[in-house]
Amino acid sequence: MKQPSGLIIPLADLTANDLSRAGGKGVALGRLARAGLPVPPGICITTDVYKQYLDSTGLRQRLPLLLERKPFSEMRWEELWDLGLRVRALFLNTPLPLGLAADLTVVMTPLFDELPVTVRSSAPAEDSASASFAGLHDSFVNVHGLPAILDHLRLVWASLWSDRALLYRQELGLDPETSAMAVVVQELVVGDCSGVAFSRCPGREELAVIETVWGLNQGLVDGDVEPDRLLLEPASGKVIERHSPPRMHACRATDGGVHLAPLPPMERETTPLSDMAAVRVLDLLHQAEDLFGAPQDLEWTLRDDTLFALQSRPITTSETPKEGGERVWYLSLHRSIASLKGLRQTIEEELLPRMAGDADRLAAVNLVALDDAALAVAIVERQQVLDCWETSYREVCIPMAHGIRLFGQVYNDRLRPDDPFAFLDLLTGDAGLLAVQRNRELLELAGLLRDDSNLAARLRNGVKPDPGSAFASALAGFTARFGDLAWVMGGATGGLEGVTTLLLEMAAAQHTAPTSRHRPDEGIFLNAFAPFEQEFARELLEIGRASYRLRDNDNLFIGRLTERLQEARDEAARRLTVQNNHDLAGLPAPVRERVTKRLTPAAATARNQRSSGARLQARQLVGQPAGPGLGQGTARVISNPYDLASFKTGEILVCDAVDPNMTFVVPLAGGIVERRGGMLIHGAIIAREYGIPCVTGVPEATQLIRTGDWLTIDGFLGLVIISAAHLQGGSHG
């Protein structure tokens, strides 16, 4: 095989010395192949190719601008999503230089032009003996033809900077200046059954374990297909235990990819791997152990009675993605479309109705009639109910949000837009978005005030509306549907006055409706798919929209439960104030502390710092561009709920994190600045609905910006420019 200056190396020629240019997976496959184990034939595209690509396309310069825009320590998971998506789009939209593509084509055409292949990541730091980071980078199965292989090559490269990999950036030693990715291209072996084998069963180290599924391994790896599980005695190969779940699906090769297909009845009833075949897999595992001198995690497939080793890596017990904590939770957020469909059903048919039921049940309790002890019990119960649902939110609702990104990724793969977030236009404008429905009804209430200047004047003077009036009954209807906004604005103390103030402000405002943007033609998206892919494309669009809608809506349901807890606390606070008794009987100390704390509004924090006698002031802050547009206005920093009631038309909403429960002020806002970052957070979602500029992920936004500062929001570049209040006016034109 002619190899252009070491850009491509046949797998069987790789040695341990090639680790830095062939990566761990490539070197391991090379050693398996040279030892005579059955490995599908293939080549390794070395890290030199990645480096050449970066140098000749200018990505070497552009990558750090993306990756180092903000310290990683200040990024939340939403921001890692965004970053991974932006990097992926950058690679996707930057073709291989013609010369480099020609060099690769010369070598690969005779090998793979007619064959389906796998295109797999092989990062130098991915699989070492001390740590295994399997699954952080992408691999693609069943890729046909040279153009598609070269396309997927760039996607694998991009995954060096995937959000999952960035999570482990320190362990992987990721640095845009020095890191590189090799790629393994192998003939695809379409196995009848496939699986993984581990030298040691977790928790039962004396046994080996084999997991097996019908068809390709992808379903097992993605978690969409539950495998048969065999525990074996390593020496004899005797099957000690066999666990067989209901077998429903298999991952099959389809045109240019893989898909989940229902199993025919016979395969549902039959184990994919007989005891005799299991011994053969175990023997292959032993050969790999002997070769590498360590317990192994082996991927295999069986086709027409021929067994193939697809990958082997050491089993590690140290710092790996198996550890507990936030990173494992984050990794669990990546869901397949099958998993997302299940989540959607759970959320829409179980979670939200039950949340609403709990909220209604608690709302029916007359708290005023409870004695102190019963009130204390009610507070504890409501806290428990809320905690329980917040756990479900974290476990079910947040993973559902991955549907937005999955849709975005497929959209970008097919349409390759310049803006990696152009897909959001297909998701916005959803009539089912509760926050927009709520705001529309608020505008209608404000309209009643606009049409009745006498009523507006009376309310402005503190007179309560006549209980029988059209306005009062409309307000009661609104509260029944969406909850009482008073609790969001500070509960008992903010009270009805806060809502009235907001409505009066809305009545005076001119432009407070969502932008009547024309939703882009979904046909542009659907037309990018072949006829046989149409069902998948429609399902994905549907999941993307549901995911986008639920991401906001489920918070409003949580909000209704928070309201119920808050009203109980407020009742306790009222009694403590009236009775001047800070020892409400039966109230547990932590709850009592929270109640009494609420009685004393938090003192404003000093936002100007002094250093060595110098006054420090932010002039320009960097965040993420989350809502395009330029906006100017006076800052309204939301430090506590009471601040919401003071919001004035045209002000820039500055807050730590926009809660969907507080987005009723957004129709009044001239822009949004948020400390929490991301394109898919609530502030960004609602800003897009109203077409107002939005910058998220601004560190210490509420500390560095003061209410009254004159702000310019650049929602294109993600900049916030701050001027002192006295400077506003002509100099900012």
Least distance (Å) from another protein to the CB of residue 94?
16
Smaller CB separation from another protein, 331 or 622: 622
Check if the beta carbon of residue 120 is closer than 8 Å to that of residue 24.
no
Task: Based on the shown chain and the rule CB under 8 A, indicate whether residue 90 belongs to the binding site for another protein.
Answer: no
Centre a 10 Å sphere on the Cβ of residue 289 and count the other Cβ atoms it contains. 19
Rounded to whole angstroms, the Cα distance separating 123 from 428 reads 37
Site pattern 48..87 for another protein (x: CB under 8 A) = ------------xx--xx-xxxx---x-------------
Place of tokens 């299991």: 278
Q: Which one, 177 or 304, has the nearer CB to another protein?
A: 177
Q: Does 619 bind another protein (CB under 8 A)?
A: yes
Residue with smaller CB distance to another protein, 463 or 717:
717
Question: Distance between CA atoms of 150 and 95, rounded to whole angstroms?
Answer: 9
Instruction: Decide if residue 617 touches another protein (CB under 8 A).
Output: yes
CB 137 within 8 A of CB 160: yes
Show contacts with another protein in window 383-442 (CB under 8 A).
none
Among 612, 726, 729, 733, binds another protein (CB under 8 A): 612
The CA distance from 296 to 341, in Å, is: 34
The C-alpha atoms of residue 578 and residue 616 are separated, in whole angstroms, by 44
Within a 13 Å sphere around the CA of 435, how many CA atoms are in the beta-carbon half? 32
* Shortest distance, position 100 Cβ to another protein, whole Å: 20
**Residues 640-699 interacting with another protein (rule: CB under 8 A):** 699
Using the contact rule CB under 8 A, the part of the chain among 286-294, 470-478, 608-616, 649-657 near another protein is: 608-616
**How many C-beta atoms surround the C-beta of residue 139 within 10 A?**
20
Q: How far is the CB of 291 from another protein (least distance, A)?
A: 41
Distance separating alpha carbons of residues 91 and 54, to the nearest angstrom: 9
Q: How far is the CB of 77 from another protein (least distance, A)?
A: 20
| C-beta atoms surrounding 5 within 10 Å | 9
Least distance to another protein, CB of residue 64, Å: 5
Kindly tell me which of 1 and 65 has the beta carbon lying closer to another protein.
Answer: 65
Q: From its phi and psi, is residue 23 left (phi > 0), alpha (psi between -120 and 50) or beta?
A: left
In the set 580, 605, 611, 731, which binds another protein (CB under 8 A)?
Answer: 611
- Binding to another protein by CB under 8 A, coded x per residue (else -) over 168-207, reads --------xx------------------------------
Q: Closest approach of Cβ 49 to another protein, in Å?
A: 20
Q: Which residue has the tokens 């999941």?
A: 543
User: Helix, strand, or coil here: 209?
Assistant: strand
Q: Does 726 bind another protein (CB under 8 A)?
A: no
- Measured CA to CA, the distance from residue 278 to residue 299 in angstroms comes to 13
Q: Is residue 620 close enough to count as binding another protein by CB under 8 A?
A: yes
Residue placing its CB nearer to another protein in the complex, 593 or 700: 700
Of residues 107 and 160, the one with the C-beta less far from another protein: 160
Binding residue (CB under 8 A) for another protein from 178, 600, 614, 733: 614
Other Cβ atoms less than 10 A from the Cβ of 383: the count is: 17
Instruction: Tell me the residue type at 188.
Output: L
Size of the site for another protein (CB under 8 A): 30
- The CB-of-687 to another protein minimum distance in angstroms stands at 20
User: Rounded CA gap, 649 and 284, in Å?
Assistant: 71
The C-alpha angle with vertex 588 and arms to 585 and 590, in degrees rounded to 5, equals 135
- Give me the residues paired with residue 209 across strands: 198, 231
State yes or no: residue 269 binds another protein (CB under 8 A).
no
Among the listed residues 529, 550, 544, the one whose alpha carbon sits nearest the alpha carbon of residue 335: 544
Given 523, 613, 729, 730, the residue binding another protein (CB under 8 A):
613
Asked if 556 is part of the footprint of another protein (rule: CB under 8 A), the reply reads: no
Rounded CA-CA distance 422/418 in Å is 8
Terminal CA-CA length for the chain: 66
Window 302 to 341, contacts with another protein (CB under 8 A): none
Beta carbon of residue 712, minimum distance to another protein (angstroms, whole number) = 12
- Per CB under 8 A, residues contacting another protein are 60-61, 64-65, 67-70, 74, 176-177, 609, 611-622, 699-700, 703-704, 717, 719
